[in-house]
Amino acid sequence: MALAVSGGGTTMNQILQATKDSRLPYVEPACVIASTDGIGAIMKAEAHGLEMGRDIFVVKKSEFSSPEAYGEELLRITRRCGADFWGQYGWIPRTPANLIEAFAGMAVNQHAGPIRPGRPDFGKLHGRQTHCARLAFVREMQRNFWTEAVAQRVTVEFDEGAVLDYARSSIEIKTDDPETLAARLLPFEHEVQIRTLRAFSENRVQEIKFDDDLVLPHEAALLDQIKRCARHIFPKG
């Protein structure tokens, strides 16, 4: 598999460790692709024995003239390394359509908030933005005192892919902030991504259909306002 990363690489690190023990016996890391230089994920990958230029690569979207050219470079690397699965773990760039098409459903994205494709949800945010928005919305509505770590299919538009697995963590409504909520959810994020990879490796992935609405129709405008605020407070996620 190819592991696409943009930050500290904590989930990637857990996945690499899981490939060495009984949790992911049928998954083999082929390469790590970073979207920028100097991130913690690169150092963590090197600590697992991966090497820059052999199985760690930095591919910057800004250096390509089009999404298609960017995708072709990503595909060139993944094909050379023999990757047959694409995993996004804190990956920030918009994933090119030609890469998604080439992996033909064998691609998963990590998201740190509840997703309900086709309905108002906590997608199209990343990092602390997601936790900030979820906290603000729950405090305003005074219901659903929880958040979710999600594995979903990769789509060209951010966070529109079907949910494949999720785990729910509580929100401490009086004391939580984006940092404490992120720390509490992180082990659930690791668990969900490893569980999803195992499901892919054993050919038993299923899309989850949700009956609940996270946001009621009359609350959608408020959610949009809260998400704009979260992006302003945490512009880099």
CATH number at residue 180: 3.40.50.170
Can you give the residue range of the structural domain that contains 48? Answer: 2-233
Beta bridge partners of 89: 5
pLDDT of residue 172: 97
CB atoms within 10 A of CB 54: 9
DSSP-derived letter for residue 217 is G
Q: What is the pTM of this model?
A: 0.95
Question: Taking 90 as the threshold, does the pLDDT of residue 207 lie above it?
Answer: yes
Average pLDDT over the chain, rounded to an integer: 97
Average pLDDT value for residue range 186-204: 98
Helices (H) and strands (E) in the chain, counts: 7, 7
- The stretches of the chain forming alpha helices (DSSP H) are 10-18, 40-47, 67-81, 97-103, 128-141, 178-201, 220-233
Domain total for the chain?
1
177-210 burial string, b = 16+ CB within 10 Å, else e?
ebeebbebbbebbbebbbbbbbbbbeeebeeeee
